[in-house]
Structure 1
Amino acid sequence: MHQLHLSLFAAQVRGLITPVQFSLLSALAARGSADQTTLATDVALDRSTAAATLARMEAHGWIARGRDDADGRAMRCRMTEAGRTLLARVEPLAREAHRQTLAALPPEDGAHLMALMRAALHGVSD
């Protein structure tokens, strides 16, 4: 199922952004700003992968990073205007990939599957 969704996502976004970058950008949009460790936790990444991905996103101009005022060891991230523009462009494409992933299921089964996956993830993040 994961491989199918990745393939559908890639076909929709056509190289604009990777799934991990999309997840981090979405998490950052939901929070407004956050440190890298929090974002890594939000999207179930290890800290080093998140840091490297966020550095690439900063190089693209999608986010800005800087030392956290309260904790100088932490890197605080915020989305730039370019990041907001990209997210607005990609979100409908990601939703379409999601729709296609579940298209073979009756709507109630798709909703149930999503609820089960959320429950499973909640159990891991506790």
Structure 2
Amino acid sequence: MKPSTSGPADPAKALLFQRPGFLIRRLHQIHVAMFLEEFKTESVTPVQYGLMTAVAALPGLDQTALGQEVGLDRTTTADVVKRLEDRGLLERKPNPQDRRTRHVSLTDEGQRLVAALHANMTRAQERLLEPLREAEKSMLMDLMQRLVEANNQYSRTILRGI
């Protein structure tokens, strides 16, 4: 597959655009920029919003299970949870059955923020996929899900339940 160019041939681009890893990384950079544009009034990163979304869907998970839901290692999960806790969006409570683990839940403010920013997140997703026809959007999502599921074991942090 050849990349489309509007100017003189760019040999580096021609090589890089044949590499799925390069294109995936570039799409991620573009998506983060779009996400941050949509969330400019709130200081929330894609990782923070993803983690809060998982907590909203699965309240009371311990930090380790939460990290596995969103593909974060234990240290990163603890750091993100701490920052969100400091902002009053999450709370951690000791697990009565195992004092070494802490259950994570959204505060009322965290629940309000996740709900309030849902439309912003949706706009960022739609903007990223806007150049595609509806059938192509579905196909891309299906292909990405299949690649993640088939290659999950190669990640530093394996997603739970795949």
TM range (shorter): over 0.9
Aligned residues: 126
For 1:4, the aligned partner's letter is I
Shift of 1:102: 0.3
Percent of aligned pairs with the same amino acid: 31
Shift of 1:114: 0.9
Please report the RMSD computed on the Cα atoms of aligned residues, expressed in angstroms: 1.1
5+ residue gaps, structure 1, are none
Match of 1:121 in 2: 148
Match of 2:31 in 1: 5
Shift of 1:15: 5.2
**TM-score of the pair, normalised by structure 1:** 0.95
Residue 14 (str. 1) matches residue 30 (str. 2): no
- Which of 31, 49, 57 aligns to 1:30? It is 57
Match of 2:81 in 1: 54
**TM-score of the pair, normalised by structure 2:** 0.75
The higher-RCO structure (CA 8 Å, 6+ apart) is 1
- Which of 102, 110, 127 aligns to 1:83? It is 110
For 1:10, the aligned partner's letter is L
Match of 2:93 in 1: 66
**Cα displacement string for residues 55-91 of structure 1 (whole angstroms, at most 9, x for unaligned residues):** 0100000011021112211111011100011001111
For 1:14, the aligned partner's letter is K
Counterparts of 2:88 and 2:71 in 1: how far apart (Å)?
A: 23
Shift of 1:122: 2.3
SS in 2 for 1:34: coil
Instruction: Select the structure of larger CA radius of gyration.
Output: 2
Counterparts of 1:71 and 1:113 in 2: how far apart (Å)?
A: 42
Counterparts of 1:7 and 1:44 in 2: how far apart (Å)?
A: 20
**Cα displacement string for residues 74-118 of structure 1 (whole angstroms, at most 9, x for unaligned residues):** 111011100011001111100000000000011111111111112
